[in-house]
Structures are given as structure tokens and as C-alpha cells.
Structure 1
Amino acid sequence: MSEDLMLKKAEELKKKGNDQLKKKDYDKAIDFYTQAIEIKPTAVFYSNRAQANIKKENFGLALNDANDAIKLNPQYLKGYYRRAVAYSGMIEYKNSLKDIKHVLSKAPNDKNAKKLEKNLEKMIRQIRFEQAIQVEEDRSILDQLDFANMLDEKNDSSNRLPELDIHITKEAKRQKVSVDMTFDYIEKMVELFKDGKTLPKKHAYAIVSATAELFRNEKALVELSLPGDENAKKNCRSATAKKITVCGDTHGQFYDVLNIFGKFGKVSPEHTYLFNGDFVDRGSWSCEVAFLLYSLKLLYPDNLFIDRGNHETDDMNQVYGFQSEVKAKYTDRLFRCFSESFNCLPYSTLIGHQYLVMHGGLFSSDDVTLDDIRNIDRFKHRQPPKEGLEMELLWTDPQPAEGRSPSKRGIGLQFGPDVTKKFCEKNDLKMIIRSHEVRIGGYEIEHEGKLATVFSAPHYCDSETNLGAVMNVTFGSDLKYHEEFDTFEAVPHPDIPPMAYCQDRLGF
């Protein structure tokens, strides 16, 4: 094929990719751009593929494409802009700002670059301010709450809710809060939320503080079992339940969370639920989801469990909406209380000594054991570190190829079926259960049946076509654990779009 014909064919493929990008079919767009690159690599083709990867939040792949675009044409400003957006998605704001300032030095009137520069500088100032506050505070924000002088608002919310008994005990510098939660309170709270109302602030602070205390007393690796399991250790929980239901990401989709309980059964002493992280951000009812799960934890402490996800962290909450949502509906101080409660969340759950559940996935080393997870000191850092077991439990993803490779996200890594097999054999496990990624069918079993991804936010962000799914674990008369997956569709919600509280998307 002549040079002209090759370029013409590549341009046709690029046009098809552009059409798919407009239709928001990013996988097809990436495929067409890749075909164009294989025929005739250009800075434009790499930049376009970077944009499609940004839309899929594959920021690591987008960064690679942007770098290739810049190498091919150092004068191509879109390459620098795409790289800046990829850096911002990876929470590398200083690198992002450096690229944006380069763009503006060549094109000072570029509106998108000026907007991104403004938002990045705002984000960097906010982070510096919050870091300064953290340095000044040597005490827990929860320990500083003064419930005695905190008045309930005399509003419609107060009148519609039952009394909430709040108990305070003080031990040295610690303040311990407990709440006598009732099923009646939760029912009325749900109806309040459906009417677009918020909790009285004193109730909100008490629920977060009391739930954080429960999480604080749990291990980094929570261990659950079901009746009849003779191998259950003394520290196993959920001993009265007949079933454990594992839910993946719910991302502030409050009405879909209500549907989960309506479709698969309520939390009770006979039915345990485990929510596997990412219950906030993106969806515009993250406060409501958090308060519902926290209240259920207070009512059924041995039958409602939550693993930490990568979105139960400050840097993600600043970008994807939860921090702004809490400020809009309540106060910035309440967000700081939520943040501290997230720091108390366990990192992983072991069910029946057979199913290891974590939000992200496996590790950069084959030497990791369950004891390593048990021994994580999650109170050592205010936020999860950017490397090590905690980061990998929150961020890593499976891949079909053997071995390990860099993450498409730009954070963490990807691990293959051989890694999963070795880990299961080393730790005597039947299966790894994780979430963290959309699956069109709601769930997917991979790695020769040893790994399952469960995602519980159907019609994700009102844009994906995916189902939601849960995994039910039971213990049979054959004295064995069994898993079963159920799917469900999205239900209608009020006319508030996802990301309604994401003020600054930082270009992506």
C-alpha cells in the first residue's frame, strides 16, 4: 500500500473513532484509533486515543498516549493538554499544572486550558490548607464534637424523626459515642431522604461518630463465618446468619441500594451484608447511602460490614463529589468526620476461610499472606499510602494475561491468573472477590474461576448499560460454602444527574 493510501485509510479510521467518541462508545473509539496508529502513528491519533482513555478513566493509558503524541510532535499542544488531564485524574496536580502552563504559554487564550489552570490552582490551595489544618490538629475531629452544646434544629426533619438516644463517655483524650439505633428511626430516615430532606446535624454527627467507633474496634481483616462451620475461629463474626450477601460499588446510587434490600432481603441477624467499598462519590445521594449503611451498622453491628474502597479517601472525595455534597447538605466539619470514619474502615473481609473480599485486588509480591493483611495498622496514616498493601488492596485490577503489568489507571498494578492461583494456593482460599470495575453483566468470574468481580451500581452514572449484581454465600448441608450471583436492573430516581456535586472535573 502506498504512503498516500495508508494515510487515507488511517484518516478514515480516525474519523470512525471520532464518531464513536461522540456516541460515548469509548471502547470502539479506542479500537479505531489503535488501528489508525498501527497503520500510521501520528500525534493526533495518539492524542485522540488518549481522550477516549480519559473518558474511560484509564489515566495511565492516557498518559502513555499523550507522551507518545508529544514525542512525535513536541509542538502539538493537545498532547500536553491530554497529558495534563491524565495527570489530574491520577491526582498528580503539580505535574498537570506544569503542562497546562506550557499550553497557555503558547496559546494564552485557550478557554479549556485557562479553566483547568484555575481549577488546578484551586485544588492545590485547598489541599495545602487542609494539610495545614491536619498538622495543627493532634486530636481526632470526632473527639472534639461537643454534643452537650449542639442543638437540634427545630425543623421539619426533627419533627419527623423519633428521638435518637446519644451516649457519650470520655476516656483520657478519647470521646466515645454510642447511639441506640432503632428500625423505626431508619424507616423514617429513608422516607425523609426520599423527600429530599436532611438529618438534623446533631443526629448526623452522632451517627458518623458512633459508627466510626464500631469500625475502629474491628480488625483490618474482618473474619465471618456461617452456622455449621466447625472450622470457624473464635474471632469469626456473623455466626447466626444463614446468608452473607456481598455488594460491590454503589457510588451514591441511593435508590438502587434501597432496591438491593427490597430485592434480596433486609439486614437482620439471619442475613448479613458486606458492602465492598466505593459507596460514596459520583452518585448524587452519597450522603444518604452513607447514613443508611452507617445506621444499619449501628442497629446490626454483627450483620452489616463495609470494606474500604479507593473512593473512601480524601483525594477522591475532593474530585468526585462527596466532599462538596456533604458541604452542600450539611457542613465541611461533617465531611471531616466522615473522612475520619473512613480511616477506621477495615481493608478486607474473609468469609468462611475461603473467600477473600477486598475492593481492588492482589499484590505486587507473591509473598503476601492473610497475616500480612491482618497486621495492617490502618491508624498509622491519616490517608492510605500511595504504595504498599493498603494501596494495592484498594486499587489493583485483574488482567487476562499471566504475570503483572502497570495499571491502566496509572495507580496500582494489574495481575494475571497465575498471580491469583498462587495467592489462593498459598493462603488456602477458594476464590478472590473484588469490585472496583464496571461489569456489563453486573459480575464476571475470571482467572479460571478463582476471581470474581462484583459491581452493584446498575446503569452506572446514568450512562453505562450495565446490570448490578450481588454475591450470596451460604453454608450447605454438605458442610461446604457455596456462592451464587444475582443480578438486578436500575430503578428510577429523582431528576438529579450523577456528578451534580462535582464542581471541578479537572478536565476529565
Structure 2
Amino acid sequence: MPDTQTVSAIGFRGMSLAPERSKRKQQDLSLKTDRLILAAGPFLMDRLSPHPQSSTVLIHAMHCPRTHRIKRKPSAMCSTGPDEWLETVKRCEYLPEPDIKKLCEMVKELLIEESNIQPVHAPVIVCGDIHGQFYDLMELFRVGGEVPHFSYIFMGDFVDRGYYSLETFTLLLALKARYPDKITLLRGNHESRQITQVYGFYDECQTKYGNANVWKYCCSVFDYLTLAAIIDGRVLCVHGGLSPDVRTLDQIRTIQRCQEVPHDDLMWSDPDDIETWAVSPRGAGWLFGAKVTTEFNHVNNLTLIARAHQLVQEGYKFMFPDENLVTVWSAPNYCYRCGNVASIMKVDEGLGVDESNFKIFSAVPDTERQVPPRQNPPYFL
């Protein structure tokens, strides 16, 4: 996306500014766009929010007043590489803007070499949504084991709704830059310019840096994230689910992924207790059933589909009589008030998955994290 353009969450594109226009004019345009997003909130919720389902909780997105945000300063010194960046980010400190730009460029160079369906070897740990819950991500690594001693697949939705989307995504990027073969990052429906302008990541970057540059750098990485991963040819990992337009894995491999999300179904679809297909109440993607899943797995020689995208109070949930699809959720006490536990799924060399493959963990206590003042959180039930 060109720097001279601003795209709002409902698709309006700002006019390009002539070179002779002042920097103040550009800032005014950004502020106007921000107000437009705020004013459009109720309309956007009708268009973008998931409807309540048996295994989901409806989360309403609201604009977060700036007085409710923790204002933290970036690390004072510009670091030189992934090791220094990891040391900084693990303290929940965000990097200077030049370092973020350099990190994003490094990771894009790695991602561009990856397939739309990235092959991964077992053993590997599979993780669901994180949503900016930085301290719970650190707990996830304590439970699952530190990189590079263990390999991980993260199935998208790294940002939005949590208080520390920037630090969360930066940590995952720094791990990818330092240990590229140990971390696989998939794209979720929230790794999108439009969605992040509504659900918090854009506003967080504006608050912490005073401009949208870092948000733009991160969005450019979103475009390069792979769509799926396959573990030893048998276990498919994808953020959302299946599509009526995709029957084989080779069809996914031919998608041109380096762009703003055009492939809704893979990131938005949900399994349901139906036989084939139904319209999704989310307004994007589809509901798909047991017959569809069984046929897809048979055609592609899969034993299991692992996906994220839906809150599960117990941390994970097998679907359908054959238990050939599982939802993994990795954000405990989602939005700091849902009360759920989280899980990670370890896939061993045998590729069999049952309840013994899951590790359950709870949210880090408030005494062990830095939490904004106890007022209404930016995204609440």
C-alpha cells in the first residue's frame, strides 16, 4: 500500500497528497480517517463481527480511549540483530522504528521463500490464536518449551484485542528471524489492514510511535505470511477452515498470497454440525460439515485438520464423529474476561493426535503482568 494513501476499514481510499503538500496535511488526513473509523463502528460491527455460536463468544470491538492505554517508550538503543531484539522484546519493550523496519524486511525475505502450504516435520507444537496477549504467549513458551529446543506452528491471529499486539507480533517475528526453521507463522483473518484498523492494532501502533509507519511495516509482513502448513504430509494446519472452491491442496498452492486478504474461506470458515456447506453468520467464509471434511481429508491423504479461529472454553475441541478436525485455542482468559483455559497441541513423529497430545495452561496472574488501569478494556463482551 503506498504511503500517500490511507485505506479505512470500510474500503474508502484517501486521495493521494501532492508532493508540495505539508506534512501537517498528511497528519490531518490520518486523523480524519481515524475519526471515520470510529464513527463507522456500529456499522462495522454488523459487517465484521462473528455471531454467537455454540463454541464461540461474541466479542464487540470498541474504540479504545487513549487514556486507557499504557504509554510505554521504545527501547532507547537501536539494536543490531535478532538476538538483541529478542532480549528487548522479552522484557515487553517495543523496538525503535528503524529496528522494526529492518526486522520486517528480514522476515519478508524468509517468508517469500515459503510455500502457500509450508511443509513441517514432526515433532512440532501447534498453537491457536494469541491476540496480543503477550504475557500469556510467554507462558505458552514456558509450558511448551523454548525455541530453538522445540519447533512451533502458530495458526494466525497474533494481533488485535489484547493490550500488547505490537510486542506479541514483534517477538514472533524476532524468533522467525533468529530461528527460521523452528517457527512457522500462518496468516489469520486478523492479519489484515482492514481488520487491524478496527480491532486495535492500528491504534496501538499510533499510540506507541505517534505515527502509522510501524503498522504499515507489519502489514507488509502480513501479505507474505503463508496460508497453511502440513506436518509430514498428513496433518494440515490452517487458521479457519475449508472452502467449497478448494478440493485439493494443490489449488491452495497456486493462490497468489502476497496481497491484502482475498482468500476469505481459508481464514474465516468454521466447522459445524451439518453435513456439507452452509452460509456463515460471520458474513465471510462458510460453515462446513463432517462429510465435507472427510472427503477433503481422503482426497488429500490427510489424517487431521488443525485450525484455530474460534474460542473454545476447554482450550481445544475435536469435531465430527471421526474426530478428523480439531480446534486449538491458545489465548487464555480471552480479552482478559472470558475465563477460558488455553492449549497447545504437540504432534509427535507418529502423527497420531488424541487428548494426551494437548497441554492446557491458564492466564498469567495480573500480579505477573503489566496491566492497564482497571477500567473498561478496549474490547469487551
> TM-score under structure 2 normalisation?
0.76
Give 1:317-466 correspondences, 5 Å limit.
317-330=196-209, 331-365=211-245, 368-379=247-258, 382-385=259-262, 390-447=263-320, 448-466=322-340
Match of 2:185 in 1: 306
Match of 2:30 in 1: none
Residues in 1 aligned to 2:89 and 2:130: alpha-carbon distance in whole angstroms: 19
1:181 aligned onto 2:82: yes
Residues in 1 aligned to 2:150 and 2:94: alpha-carbon distance in whole angstroms: 28
Match of 1:221 in 2: 117
Residues in 2 aligned to 1:296 and 1:427: alpha-carbon distance in whole angstroms: 31
1:287 aligned onto 2:166: yes
1:494 aligned onto 2:374: no
AA of the residue aligned to 1:202: P
Residues in 2 aligned to 1:304 and 1:246: alpha-carbon distance in whole angstroms: 10
1:468 aligned onto 2:347: no
Residues in 1 aligned to 2:376 and 2:177: alpha-carbon distance in whole angstroms: 29
Residues in 2 aligned to 1:317 and 1:457: alpha-carbon distance in whole angstroms: 18
Runs (4 or more) in structure 1 with deviation over 3 Å come to 84-89, 497-502
Residues in 1 aligned to 2:375 and 2:347: alpha-carbon distance in whole angstroms: 31
AA of the residue aligned to 1:357: C
- Highest CA radius of gyration, 1 or 2? 1
Which digits, 9 at most, give the CA deviation of each residue in 1:169-210, with x for residues without a partner?
A: xxxxxxxxxxx422x54133312x2xxx43222112111221
Provide closer, same or farther for how the CA distance between residues 203 and 499 of structure 1 changes in structure 2, counting only shifts above 3 A: farther
Match of 1:201 in 2: 97
AA of the residue aligned to 2:316: Y
Provide closer, same or farther for how the CA distance between residues 261 and 499 of structure 1 changes in structure 2, counting only shifts above 3 A: farther
Greater helix share, 1 or 2? 1
Residue segments in structure 1 that go unaligned for 5+ positions in a row: 1-83, 93-115, 120-154, 165-179, 227-242
Provide closer, same or farther for how the CA distance between residues 401 and 323 of structure 1 changes in structure 2, counting only shifts above 3 A: same
Alignment check: 8 A CA contact 2:101 2:217 kept: yes
Which digits, 9 at most, give the CA deviation of each residue in 1:357-406, with x for residues without a partner?
A: 100001124x6101111111112xx3112xxxx21110000001211111
Provide closer, same or farther for how the CA distance between residues 499 and 253 of structure 1 changes in structure 2, counting only shifts above 3 A: farther
Which digits, 9 at most, give the CA deviation of each residue in 1:85-105, with x for residues without a partner?
A: 46644259xxxxxxxxxxxxx
AA of the residue aligned to 1:254: F
Alignment check: 8 A CA contact 1:359 1:394 kept: yes
Q: Cα RMSD between the aligned structures?
A: 2.4
Q: How far is 1:312 from its partner?
A: 0.2
AA of the residue aligned to 2:279: P
AA of the residue aligned to 1:302: D
Match of 2:352 in 1: 482
Which digits, 9 at most, give the CA deviation of each residue in 1:103-148, with x for residues without a partner?
A: xxxxxxxxxxxxx9xx9xxxxxxxxxxxxxxxxxxxxxxxxxxxxx
Residue segments in structure 2 that go unaligned for 5+ positions in a row: 1-40, 50-61, 64-72
Q: Could you say which structure has the greater relative contact order, defined with CA pairs below 8 angstroms and 6 or more residues apart?
A: 2
Aligned residues: 311
Match of 1:158 in 2: 76
AA of the residue aligned to 2:352: H
Residues in 1 aligned to 2:110 and 2:376: alpha-carbon distance in whole angstroms: 30
AA of the residue aligned to 2:207: A
